[in-house]
Structure 1
């Protein structure tokens, strides 16, 4: 080994996982947050997460931290890696690289705080985006990028059904798209698109009685992972309503 190589400055790095969990509650998109019980940022709200243990796989660490800090079983969620965040000054404790996970799930039960979290609760995403709630570390950056990933996935994959409890109606599925995208969709056009997408929905042959109108047909998620054709967000707005989006 040369002298230059032996004296090279190598960063001492710790690895964490952070969990970005979205669900739809009370007609709005919510994210799971915890109140930190220790420094740094003691008493502030943040995404659940923590250090990866020696010999522990990243996915296992994510599931463990979610369970320990919130009491939620992540094995039943659509869970995937979002991206890695490693800015040198993102954590005042030193060089900490975090692997952020994105999870989507149907209406979830109340969270229960544990380990180093004082409190855990579902929080409206809108409150964070509007600046009424500030997150510790760079967690707002993670949230905003994860939200855009979720919105993109609804265009090209069948993941929207992960928000729905089976069996579900077309109207319930449309509500998921509207909440995540922040748009109002044309009902008849949406129905035509999702029922025409190969392998997206499977009719159960059953119906649910509604207070108004005819009984609604019930569906479950089909085997497809990708939407064919995709459901693209559009800039074309229906003239009669400034919030009504017509899918193309």
Structure 2
């Protein structure tokens, strides 16, 4: 048991450069919340629901992290900072990292039955701060959920999800192969081209070039066209 604890603390240290010793990691809210959840989950499995909830409420008061006693959590799970909510039917694989203010939330069943209504996170998933992962979806192995993303559909293995509603992006192989990416978000924005308007500017240049070619053909008398294709009909000026 001691060896497993040391291995877990070392796994946390490999993802967070701040602690100076293993003793310091033992004071982390996420580590305390996970330890108390193990007790609450054992009580929940034994159908001692009241006592499981009691431990859960004490843990939430102490750490600002709410993990339902029914949630299933794998090895080396790390919550970096607090204010995180994990629902009853959530399933979390090994070596998963979650940052602050994340919700693994459930959908409201319309048939009156609980069932599976919270996400499943496969091994080595990273969820950035403020992300909302909602519903009985599966987040594939080594996937990254960017900060403040809202995810309501299955996430392919190795994908990086960004935005509201989250969209999948392609990242360079050297980024994908990294064992760990802080906050699940590459420093070089894989969507920078679209976000910065480069695609729009390129389209505008293409349109201007086409208009120039049409003007040249009109002067040569090779084509007969009406008003400029890219003119503003109301003002009569070119856009």
Band the TM-score falls in, shorter-chain normalisation: under 0.3
Q: What TM-score results when the alignment is normalised by the length of structure 2? A: 0.23
Q: Say which structure is richer in strand.
A: 1
Larger radius of gyration: 2
- Whose helix fraction is larger, Structure 1's or Structure 2's? 2
Higher relative contact order (CA 8 A, sep 6+): 1
